[in-house]
Amino acid sequence: MHGREWLVEAHGCDPAALADVETLRRLFDRIVRELSLHPVAPAQWHRFPGPGGVTGLCMLAESHLACHTFPEHGSICLNLFCCRPRPEWDWDGELRALLNADQVTVRAVERPYAAAVPALAE
């Protein structure tokens, strides 16, 4: 058994969308729904003052979903960790559609829970 962690960066995003908690809440809701995730509490949001961005965190039975936005740079960083396998999700298409991103980078990291067992010498 293993988990998977997605590290996602999107650039060229609409700064207004990156500063809007409701837009980010819709993004989280879509991820949670389409990946059949299970929040253990409502997502928490912190909107920084002035031209600052938003930090969001949703604790999941599967682990967590987090985001940090940087409207001044037109970027968002997302992190989703799931303790059990999940299907791929269209990060690129969804972030382009919802945030008007022009560049999306997705890294998926397998998270094994047991240490690798060394092969026995023959």
Q: Residue 17's domain spans which residues?
A: 2-86+93-112
CA–CA separation, 18 vs 45, rounded Å? 12
| pTM of the entire predicted model | 0.89
Residues 75 and 69: their CA atoms lie apart, in Å, by 6
Q: Is-catalytic flag, 77?
A: no
The answer, yes or no, to whether residue 116 has pLDDT greater than 70, is no
Which is nearest to 37 in space by CA: 57, 67, 56, 60?
Answer: 60
64-112 pLDDT per residue, tens: 999 999 999 999 999 999 988 788 899 999 999 999 999 999 999 888 7
Could you say which of 58, 63, 67, 82 is catalytic? 63
Q: 2 catalytic, yes or no? A: no
Q: Read off the pLDDT of residues 6-41 as tens digits, 9 standing for 90 and up.
A: 999 999 999 999 999 999 999 999 999 999 999 999
Q: What is the pLDDT of residue 84?
A: 83
Active-site annotation holds for 67: no
**What's residue 37's pLDDT?**
96
The number of folded domains in the chain is 1
Q: Which CATH number is 77's domain given?
A: 3.60.90.10
Report CA-CA distances (Å) from 51 to 22, 33, 76, 80: 17, 30, 14, 26
Would residue 13 count as lying in a domain?
A: yes
